[in-house]
Amino acid sequence: MFSRREFLMATVALSAIAGPGLAGRWSRAAAQQALSEDMLLASEDFGNLTLVHITDLHAQLKPLYFREPSINLGVGEVAGQPPHVTGADFLKLYNIEPGTPHAYALTSEDFVSLAKGYGKMGGLDRVATVIRRVRAERGEDNVLLLDGGDTWQGSYTAQQTSGGDMVEVMNALAPDAMTGHWEFTYGADRVTELVESLPFAFLGGNIYDAEWNEPAFDAYKIFERGGARIAVVGQAFPYTPIANPRWMFPDWSFGIREEDVARNVEAARAEGADIVVLLSHNGFDVDRKLASRVDGIDIILTGHTHDALPEPVIVNGTLVVASGSNGKFLSRIDLDIADGKLNGYKYRLIPIFSDVITPDPEMAALIDKVRAPYEEELKRELGRTESLLYRRGNFNGTFDDLFCQALLSEREADIALSPGFRWGTSLLPGQAITVEDLH
């Protein structure tokens, strides 16, 4: 998060440009003057290892508008606890001033006017710039880049290439390990083909051969970085056969498999791991509970529920880190590891402001290359919206309303339903609706 000094500097800059009474209505040029790449990426030298976490990209290669939810219900004892806090309550909880960059990135408050000022977010070429800078600052041997899955699916080009476009760009980004969920919807044969092409580890300790009850993927891998041994245990989405058609992967079984997680943690410790990181696609509340029940996990990098939190939630001594979705954020965790244990950490959730962070030229060229065969269709305009369109929560969004109205109108349906998915670009009033936006 920004320090108070950085926030005051930004506020002064905005006041000088926009004048009093114009909060939330400044021009994009003014908003950009309140931000800089150095401000977003600045860090203090700390510890001997840096973890970088990205998750739930959903194949979004280009910058986009993405409105965070205004409703996020927690059940039972987690009601009202992060991540089940939104809007003004979220800003108050984390002491974030309305109208600031983090208020725009992390909540739905005043979304349209702030989006017009701060611009789009994400873009894998901008993410690449951040990762390149972290590796340059810390040294590649002191950095681990981990991908939490839901990476290969969620766009028109990913659909057309069965995930091939994302594998190509992610291979260039060079993570050290990943796990999965929607990846499996390409079918077992295609997933196996893509996994075998990866120059990094695909981990899923909770996926088994359904007939022989043997592990289908490696459960963990131990890395030597920063003079320490770091075990990364992979946990794919446990409910994949329920959330997605089982016929796509009939020979694999999934589950939380808490006892297996504990055994994998113990095995990694027995092999000399100084710390254990669970790279998980369980979803935040499942990982919160897992942290309370399984000892020996230092950090859980959670995914699936698309939550973005500016601070880790600490459960049973375990840091639970939520890094958002769609390329809007990445998490940087600097760790002090010595004497076989984690002694301290510094955490930053870095928002990827597309107008502020310089695109990495090599990644930008690669993205243009994989999109080129489909560019004409991607840009094909289907209409124009008069109001904000968004789809983020498990509850109704305006994009859901549009889909349902179209089904009622064009298909003469009596009842129209839209599933509560957590992804999809947001469109501002007056924007064109393109083929790309509907994927």
CATH at 295: 3.60.21.10
Note whether residue 413 is domain-resident: yes
Q: Does residue 329 lie in a domain region? A: yes
Together in a domain, 384 and 362: no
* Residues whose CB is less than 8 angstroms from the CB of residue 224 and which lie 6 or more positions away in sequence, other chains included: 230
Residues 323, 420, single domain; the answer is no
Nearest to 143, CA basis, from 156, 133, 153? 133
Q: Are 357 and 411 contained in the same domain?
A: no
Interatomic CA distance for residues 146 and 178, integer angstroms: 6
Domain interval for residue 393: 379-438
CA torsion, points 38, 40, 44, 47, in degrees to nearest 10? Answer: -130
The last residue of one of the domains, among 342, 366, 390, is 366
361 and 386 assigned to the same domain = no
* 20 part of a folded domain: no
Return contacts of 191-196, CB within 8 angstroms, 24+ apart: 191/249, 194/152, 194/163, 194/164, 194/167
Query: Does 17 fall in a domain?
Result: no
Residue (of 365, 438, 322) closest to 61 by Cα position: 365
Specify whether 158 is located in the same domain as 244: yes
**Contact call for residues 280 and 302 (beta carbons, < 8 A):** yes
Residue 368 main-chain phi, psi, to 5 deg: -60, -35
Q: Does some domain include residue 101?
A: no
Residue 276 near residue 269, CB atoms below 8 Å: yes
Q: Quick one: 362 and 387 in the same domain?
A: no
The tokens of 232 are what? 């990364």
- 401 and 341 within one domain: no
277, 229 contact by CB (below 8 A): no
Tell me whether residue 235 is in a domain. yes
Token pair 């950095």 is at which residue? Answer: 143
Residue 249, CA atoms < 13 Å, CB-side half-sphere: 25
- Each residue's pLDDT tens digit in the chain (439 positions)? 444 344 334 443 433 333 333 344 446 655 656 789 999 999 989 999 999 999 999 999 999 999 999 999 999 999 999 999 999 999 999 999 999 999 999 999 999 999 999 999 999 999 999 999 999 999 999 999 999 999 999 999 999 999 999 999 999 999 999 999 999 999 999 999 999 999 999 999 999 998 889 999 999 999 999 999 999 999 999 999 998 888 999 999 999 999 999 999 999 999 999 999 999 999 999 999 999 999 999 999 999 999 999 999 999 999 999 999 999 999 999 999 999 999 999 999 999 999 999 999 999 999 999 999 999 999 999 999 999 999 876 678 899 888 899 999 999 899 998 887 767 899 999 999 999 998 8
Query: Which of 302, 335, 366 is where one domain is finished?
Result: 366
319 in the same domain as 258: yes
In 321-372, alpha helices (H): 361-371
Cβ contacts of 419 within 8 Å, gap of 6 or more: none
Pairing between strand 201-202 and 177-178? parallel
How crowded is the C-beta side of 368, counted as CA atoms within 13 Å?
7
Are 188 and 320 part of one and the same domain? Answer: yes
Backbone angles phi and psi of 217, in degrees to 5: -140, 165
Residue 64's beta-bridge partner residues?
121
- Whether residue 384 sits in one domain with residue 361: no
Is residue 5 in a domain?
Answer: no
For residues 18 and 315, give the distance between their C-alpha atoms in angstroms, rounded to a whole number.
Answer: 43
Domain total in the chain: 2
Tell whether 334 and 412 lie within a shared domain: no
> Quick one: 142 and 289 in the same domain?
yes
Question: What is the C-alpha to C-alpha distance for residues 303 and 73, in angstroms, rounded to an integer?
Answer: 17
